[in-house]
């Protein structure tokens, strides 16, 4: 993610800022990818600190994609919704750098249901997932305590709300890209046939989960080609944004990123992945000085890197190349 500038005094601003220390109120313009003076605030600005400018209606582009929100009659759901929407905005801003869901993109947009397990009527079971363009997110996992508990229960190395957003949106991106026969042919050669029985595959996975291996980035990626793709895309977005954020903050190793580097304009996937891994190893070392978890605790075998390269090419192409 870039670091922005105040349109009034030029001071640094970060993606979630609503104002500058100079007093200037700002909002984010997702098309220009910059902070601008506050003129058309999203209707959710006061409710959940949404700092994007309103689109064609009262809501910003990101908030307009949310079809259902959690039950705000239940105490505690508003901050969980706020955190979840913030993660969604971050993900959408990243994807917009490759042209996804912008005014120039003629394709369909995803619809989000951001739901909580806690409602005024009692507790509900929420299953996160994607179905026919509708993405369901359990905002209860925006609670750090809940997230940490489930990460431990599932034995996962990494579990965050931004990770959920990237993974579930990846399923929608696959729908869009699958409109191209060339994509499907290449996809099946690398990931397998996505037409295989999804339910049966998940049942086998949960009965006998397989470890990550030379061609699967996580255990869950081994479950089915759909999940392999979603895990691959999520990790691609993690890695590209890691390099972009490091470059924006002026962090670099001898191997890069160079000053002014735009990771979203880069075409050499292997170079970007290598920079991301080198940066993560260095930051892992720094984290250990504070007794914090590793930033990116994954090993990327060549088979995984091949899938990341395929995904990178197609996401940058935005389905139109």
What the block records as the tokens of 48 is 């959940």
Residue 147: per-residue pLDDT: 78
**pLDDT of 320:** 41
Closest C-alpha to 305, from 274, 267, 275: 274
Q: How far is CA 281 from the centre of its chain?
A: 21
Contact of 111 with 75, CB cutoff 8 Å: no
Spatial CB neighbours of 64, under 8 Å, sequence gap ≥ 6: 55, 57
- Average pLDDT of the segment spanning 36-44: 96
Count other C-beta atoms under 10 Å from residue 2's C-beta. Answer: 19
Residues 208-261 have pLDDT tens digits of: 999 999 999 999 999 999 999 999 999 999 999 999 999 999 999 999 899 899
Integer Cα distance of 175 and 189 in angstroms: 17
Query: Omega into 257 within 30° of 0, i.e. cis?
Result: yes
For the chain, domain boundaries = 1-60, 65-173, 178-321
For Cα atoms 59, 230, 158, give the angle at the middle one, nearest 5 degrees. 90
- Gap between the Cα atoms of 311 and 307, Å rounded: 6
CA distance 139 to 115: 6
Q: Measured between alpha carbons, how far is 84 from 48 in angstroms, rounded to an integer?
A: 10
Average the pLDDT over 63-86 and give the result.
95
Query: Residue 317 — pLDDT band, cuts 50, 70, 90?
Result: confident
C-alpha to C-alpha distance for 99 and 311, rounded to whole angstroms: 15
Q: Are 315 and 241 in contact (CB under 8 A)?
A: no
Q: What is the pLDDT of residue 149?
A: 86
- Buried-state track 255-281, b at ≥16 Cβ within 10 A, e below 16: ebbeeebebbebeebeebbbbbbbbbe
What local confidence, expressed as pLDDT, does residue 174 receive? 96
- 273-301 pLDDT, tens digit per residue, is 999 999 999 999 999 999 998 999 898 99
Q: C-alpha angle 133/68/98, rounded to 5°?
A: 45
Q: Is 287 left (phi over 0), alpha (psi -120 to 50) or beta?
A: alpha
Contact 140, 149 (CB under 8 A): no
How many other C-beta atoms lie within 10 A of the C-beta of residue 252?
18
């Amino acid at each position: 993610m870039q670091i922005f500038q105040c349109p009034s005094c030029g001071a640094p601003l970060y993606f979630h800022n609503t104002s500058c220390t100079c007093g200037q109120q700002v909002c984010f313009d997702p098309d220009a990818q910059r902070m601008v003076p506050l003129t058309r605030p999203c209707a959710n600005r006061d409710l959940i600190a949404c700092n994007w400018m309103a689109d064609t209606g009262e809501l910003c582009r990101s908030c307009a994609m949310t079809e259902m929100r959690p039950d705000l009659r239940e105490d505690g759901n508003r901050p969980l919704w706020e955190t979840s929407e913030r993660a969604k905005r971050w993900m959408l801003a990243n994807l917009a750098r490759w042209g996804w869901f912008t005014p120039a993109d003629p394709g369909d947009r995803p619809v989000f249901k951001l739901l909580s397990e806690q409602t005024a009527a009692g507790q509900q079971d929420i299953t996160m997932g994607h179905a026919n363009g509708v993405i369901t997110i359990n905002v209860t996992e925006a609670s750090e305590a809940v997230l940490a508990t489930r990460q431990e229960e599932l034995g996962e190395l990494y579990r965050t709300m931004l990770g959920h957003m990237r993974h579930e949106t990846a399923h929608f991106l696959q729908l869009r890209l699958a409109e191209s026969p060339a994509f499907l042919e290449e996809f099946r050669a690398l990931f397998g046939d996505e037409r295989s029985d999804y339910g049966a595959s998940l049942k086998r996975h949960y009965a006998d989960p397989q470890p990550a291996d030379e061609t699967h980035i996580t255990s869950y990626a081994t479950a089915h080609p759909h999940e392999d793709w979603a895990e691959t895309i999520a990790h691609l977005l993690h890695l590209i944004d890691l390099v972009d954020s490091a470059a924006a903050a002026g962090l670099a190793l001898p191997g890069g990123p160079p000053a002014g580097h735009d990771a979203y304009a880069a075409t050499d996937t292997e170079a970007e992945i290598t920079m991301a891994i080198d940066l993560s190893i260095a930051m892992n070392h720094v984290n250990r000085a504070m007794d914090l978890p590793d930033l990116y605790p994954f090993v990327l075998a060549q088979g995984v890197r091949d899938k990341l390269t395929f995904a990178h090419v197609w996401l940058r192409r935005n389905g139109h190349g």
